[in-house]
Amino acid sequence: MVIGVTVAVALAGIASYVALNWAPLQSSAESASTESDMISLGSTVYAAQCAACHGANLEGQPNWRARKANGRLPAPPHDETGHTWHHDDDTLFNLTKYGLSALVGQPVETDMPAYDGVLTDAQIRASLAYIKSRWPEEIRKRQTEMSRRAAAERG
Ligand code: HEC
């Protein structure tokens, strides 16, 4: 009898523990694996498509603030020393997909390619997710907040 009650209490305890913890554990595990899948795809895309100019370690080209002899800018770093993180998510996506000229609305002399037709939207988003994953926490927060505000302004 005493043993029966103890077992029942223990089972009830396990059941409520599972009820309280299973759902959040499962969903955070799911989003973590989706996010890390995206970042690992992004690191492959980045290495194949972006690293040649922006640097294997996101460091950009030397002297990236000074125009080259042909008047074009070198590729800037994508780490926190550059200004990639000054742009909201939609701007980064549109710039990478459609190019700088489309973004500015007039022809720009630039070495930055447009990836429309070269990479899928998912590959572009993944490459940007990888870049963002390399930023320090504080920079990520600021860029996330900027993206949220930009999206709210666009409505
Ligand atoms: C052939 C060289 C080259 C390749 C490859 C390249 N970029 Fe660029 N990228 C540039 C240059 C040069 C700029 C500076 C644009 C300008 O102002 O003329 C730039 C700028 C950018 C910017 C704007 C950064 C800022 O600070 O404003 C983003 C975002 C970007 N590139 C993303 C990418 C991504 C993502 C890839 C790969 C999918 C990529 N680039 C591949 C040369 C390249």
> pLDDT tens-digit profile of 28-74?
455 667 889 999 999 999 999 999 999 999 999 999 999 999 999 99
Q: Mean pLDDT, the chain, as a whole number? A: 88
Percent of the chain with pLDDT over 90: 76
Question: Ligand 1 centroid to 22 CA: how many Å?
Answer: 43
Q: What residue's CA is closest to ligand 1, atom 39?
A: 50
Across 16-20, 82-86, 102-106, least confident range: 16-20
The answer to whether the beta carbons of residues 75 and 53 sit under 8 Å apart is yes
Q: What is the spatial distance between Cα 58 and Cα 42, in angstroms, rounded to a whole number? A: 13
Nearest to 81 by CA among 101, 108, 54, 47: 54
Radius of gyration over alpha carbons of the chain, in Å?
23
Atom of ligand 1 nearest to the CA of 131: 35
Judge if the beta carbon of residue 113 lies within 6 A of ligand 1. Answer: yes
Judge if the beta carbon of residue 126 lies within 6 A of ligand 1. Answer: no
Q: What is the mean pLDDT of residues 105-125?
A: 97
Which phi and psi (to 5°) does residue 140 adopt? -60, -45
pLDDT at 33: 72
Q: What residue's CA is closest to ligand 1, atom 12?
A: 75
Nearest to 30 by CA among 22, 40, 20: 22
Which residues neighbour 115 within 8 Å (Cβ) at sequence distance 6 or greater?
A: 49, 96, 97, 124
Q: What is the spatial distance between Cα 147 and Cα 15, in angstroms, rounded to a whole number? A: 41
Percent of the chain with pLDDT over 70: 79
Nearest to 78 by CA among 115, 49, 117: 49
| Residue type (1 letter), 144 | T
Residue predicted with more confidence, 129 or 23: 129
